[in-house]
């Protein structure tokens, strides 16, 4: 009898389960919002062209024709008619420093070329700030990368010139993000005296033939006491970063931030208010990776955080500086000599091979992305070797990344190694807009043979490397926020030295992938970002033009009309 009852019970449960599933399958999908009557470029190979999208709980639940998607609407569904406008996936910034960008944009003295064309004008700008600044208060100055190539004097301001305009204030003048000039009072406050060649957190100190500091500091980001307040950082992450990035079509970014600033973002992530952009955070402790704990659990987002908007995904260190300020670490010397050159004339080694090996090991043991900044050819070999060593001892496919891969230099051997390691989780961050800013400096600093080995986007793509574009925004070049200028440069090969290596031009479609699906892959997020398809976040951008139908010359002028995050309109052009 008991066996009979047991059988009846099981049959009843199975019957109810079948009926429930059948009813669920037949239930009408009720989207929160639908977008109809558009021209979508999905980057989904199975459904590249559609006219409409349905969204529920911030994710795409259906795509197809306008009639199909309209039929899903209920009385509670918001309907947005796109009026045949062109729509693409939301841009994903694969490498950026958003906190620093807003701070430098708002608070630093502006001595950026071309609006500041000379050392003379830069000093005038600084003196004007000094007049309104209390004694002993730090003053920070932003100059674009390679200012020594751009200013009319073909150099940057000196320590003595900064002393003259600011005798009572410590001043740091940034020549891009990897070199700075400090005046005497700033050096004193940093503890830099005769004979000091290294700062506690890895910064380099250049000295003259008598051992006296010249004022030049290399990769001293961790040593200079420069940061916004916690209140300012909170405002940036709650509002200002999204507002700045959204207007250029960005819906997601990899935010590289100093470890000491991360607690502010962690606290913000507990809020039930949704931000207007998705933050995937990577942290650094010092340029050479020193101070990075073996256990990274303290950097995880709190349990209250919505992982759709807040994630901790990786750690970063710098192998070298950058070739544009002659601190990228190379096998051969830079052309000529200038006063700001590090000893040896081959750039700056910030992180040794052993340190890079250990850094990579920490990342993989915590299942986090390892990000190694590599500019010069010698630095790139150190980064690749660190990852190869790590793979041999740890065969997991945790993502490993070379930041700025091949921007200034790329050898055939490095390309071959990169191709071989791609299947083991190696990814590559690139900055296309630098074509418009740094090619001329490359020729002046390295000569044509080495300069022509950089920016090989077509070669990378044909080799299957799927380069992920990032703005590398720091607040130094404010115009770098615009991805369409990067797309334009990649497709036309226009540079600040004219058309550069035209055989490395790429298609508009590949240029779009560099800002969408490939960054999503390089962040381990391709299942939810980078294309318009069912199951992914409804992150999209409505554009002023169909980028596949306009002359390539006009790509630089395309503007986002509307930016959509999770089906929510977060930016609307005026």
DSSP symbols for 442-455: HHHHH-HHHHTTS-
Residues of the chain with pLDDT under 70: 1-28
Q: What is the CATH number of the domain that holds 148?
A: 3.10.310.70
Whether residue 73 is contained in a domain is answered as: no
Whether residue 450 is contained in a domain is answered as: yes
Tokens for 454, please give them: 């950089």
User: SS3 of 554, please?
Assistant: helix
Whether residue 195 is contained in a domain is answered as: yes
Whether residue 66 is contained in a domain is answered as: no
Examine the domain organization and report whether 417 and 502 are in the same domain. yes
Examine the domain organization and report whether 309 and 173 are in the same domain. no
- 186-225: string of b/e by CB count within 10 Å (b at 16+)? bbeebebeeeeeebebbbbbbbeeeeebbbbbbbbbbbbe
Examine the domain organization and report whether 181 and 312 are in the same domain. no
Examine the domain organization and report whether 102 and 122 are in the same domain. yes
Query: Of the candidates 187, 218, 249, which is a domain's last residue?
Result: 218
DSSP H or E segment with residue 349: none
Read off φ and ψ for residue 352, nearest 5 degrees: -75, 170
Give how far Cα 142 sits from Cα of 113, 162, 216, 247, 482, Å: 10, 14, 15, 23, 19
Whether residue 147 is contained in a domain is answered as: yes
Whether residue 13 is contained in a domain is answered as: no
Q: Cα(40)–Cα(540) distance, rounded to whole angstroms?
A: 10
Predicted confidence at residue 28, as pLDDT, reads: 65
pLDDT digits (tens, 9 = 90+) for 125-167: 999 999 999 999 999 999 998 999 999 999 999 999 999 999 9
The residue ranges of DSSP E strands in 145-212, in sequence order, are 171-175, 179-182, 204-207
C-beta of residue 543 within 8 angstroms of C-beta of residue 560: yes
User: SS3 of 329, please?
Assistant: coil
Report the first-to-last Cα separation within the chain, whole angstroms.
76
Q: What is the CATH number of the domain that holds 513?
A: 3.20.20.140
Whether residue 211 is contained in a domain is answered as: yes
Closest CA relative to residue 402, chosen from 430, 428, 369 = 428
Examine the domain organization and report whether 432 and 503 are in the same domain. yes
Examine the domain organization and report whether 172 and 251 are in the same domain. no
Closest CA relative to residue 53, chosen from 21, 95, 85, 14 = 85
Examine the domain organization and report whether 290 and 431 are in the same domain. yes
Q: What is the CA radius of gyration of the chain?
A: 26
Q: Cα(382)–Cα(380) distance, rounded to whole angstroms?
A: 5
Q: Cα(55)–Cα(62) distance, rounded to whole angstroms?
A: 7
Examine the domain organization and report whether 284 and 161 are in the same domain. no
Tokens for 449, please give them: 């043979």
Predicted confidence at residue 225, as pLDDT, reads: 84
Q: What is the number of domains present in the chain?
A: 2
Strands 39-41 and 33-36: what pairing? unpaired
Closest CA relative to residue 369, chosen from 399, 404, 405, 403 = 399
Residue 403, beta-bridge partner list = 373, 429
Examine the domain organization and report whether 202 and 265 are in the same domain. no
DSSP H or E segment with residue 95: strand 91-96
Query: Of the candidates 177, 198, 218, which is a domain's last residue?
Result: 218
Range of the domain at 108: 98-218
Q: Cα(47)–Cα(37) distance, rounded to whole angstroms?
A: 16
C-beta of residue 202 within 8 angstroms of C-beta of residue 222: yes
Whether residue 83 is contained in a domain is answered as: no
In this prediction the pTM is 0.92
Give the count of beta carbons closer than 10 Å to the beta carbon of residue 121: 15
User: SS3 of 341, please?
Assistant: coil
Examine the domain organization and report whether 211 and 236 are in the same domain. no
Examine the domain organization and report whether 517 and 468 are in the same domain. yes
Predicted confidence at residue 227, as pLDDT, reads: 81
Examine the domain organization and report whether 195 and 326 are in the same domain. no
């Amino acid at each position: 009898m008991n066996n009979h009852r047991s059988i009846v019970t099981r049959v009843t449960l199975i019957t109810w389960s079948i009926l429930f599933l059948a009813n669920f399958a037949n239930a009408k999908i009720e989207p929160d919002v639908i977008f109809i009557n558009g021209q979508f470029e999905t980057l989904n190979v199975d459904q590249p062209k559609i006219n409409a999208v349905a969204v529920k709980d911030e994710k795409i639940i259906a795509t197809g024709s306008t009639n199909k998607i309209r039929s899903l609407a209920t009385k509670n569904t918001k309907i947005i008619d796109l009026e045949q406008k062109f729509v693409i996936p939301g841009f994903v910034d694969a490498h950026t420093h958003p906190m620093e960008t807003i701070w430098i944009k708002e608070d630093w003295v502006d001595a950026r070329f071309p609006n500041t064309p000379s050392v003379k004008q830069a000093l005038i700008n600084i003196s004007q700030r000094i007049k309104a600044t209390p004694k002993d208060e730090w003053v920070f100055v932003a100059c674009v990368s390679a200012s020594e190539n751009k200013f009319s004097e073909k150099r940057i301001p000196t320590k003595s010139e900064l002393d003259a305009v600011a005798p009572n204030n410590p001043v740091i003048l940034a020549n891009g993000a990897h070199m700075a000039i400090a005046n005497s009072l700033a050096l004193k406050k940093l503890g830099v005296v005769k004979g000091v060649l290294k700062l506690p957190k890895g910064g380099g100190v250049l000295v003259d033939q008598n051992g006296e500091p010249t004022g030049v500091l290399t990769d001293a980001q961790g040593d200079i006491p420069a940061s916004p307040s916690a209140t300012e950082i909170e405002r940036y992450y709650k509002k200002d970063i999204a507002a700045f990035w959204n207007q250029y079509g960005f819906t997601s970014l990899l935010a590289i931030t100093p470890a000491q600033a991360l607690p502010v973002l962690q606290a913000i992530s507990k809020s039930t208010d949704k931000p207007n952009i998705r933050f995937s955070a990577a942290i650094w402790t010092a340029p050479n990776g020193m101070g990075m704990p073996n256990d990274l659990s303290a950097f995880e987002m709190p349990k209250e955080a919505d992982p759709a908007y807040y994630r901790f995904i990786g750690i970063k260190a710098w192998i070298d500086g950058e070739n544009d300020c002659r601190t990228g670490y190379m096998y051969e010397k830079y052309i000529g000599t200038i006063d700001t050159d590090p000893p040896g004339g081959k750039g700056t080694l910030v992180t040794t091979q052993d340190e890079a090996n250990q850094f990579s090991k920490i990342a993989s043991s915590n299942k986090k992305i390892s990000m190694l900044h590599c500019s010069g050819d010698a630095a790139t070999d150190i980064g690749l070797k660190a990852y190869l060593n790590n793979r041999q001892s740890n065969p997991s496919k945790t993502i490993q990344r070379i930041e700025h891969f091949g921007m200034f230099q790329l050898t055939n051997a490095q390309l071959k190694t990169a191709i071989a390691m791609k299947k083991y989780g190696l990814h590559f961050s690139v900055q296309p807009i630098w074509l418009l800013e740094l090619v001329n400096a490359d020729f002046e600093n390295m000569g044509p043979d080495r300069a022509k080995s950089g920016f090989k986007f077509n070669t990378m793509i044909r080799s299957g490397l799927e380069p992920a574009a990032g703005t590398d925004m720091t607040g130094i070049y404010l115009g770098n926020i615009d991805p369409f200028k990067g797309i334009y440069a990649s497709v036309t090969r226009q540079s600040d030295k004219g058309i550069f290596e035209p055989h490395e031009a790429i298609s508009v479609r590949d240029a779009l992938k560099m800002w969408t699906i490939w960054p999503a892959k390089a962040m381990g997020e391709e299942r939810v970002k980078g294309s318009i398809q069912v199951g992914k976040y409804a992150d999209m951008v409505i554009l002023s033009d169909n980028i596949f139908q306009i002359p390539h010359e006009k790509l630089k002028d395309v503007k986002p009309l509307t930016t959509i995050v999770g089906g929510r309109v977060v930016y609307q052009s005026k």
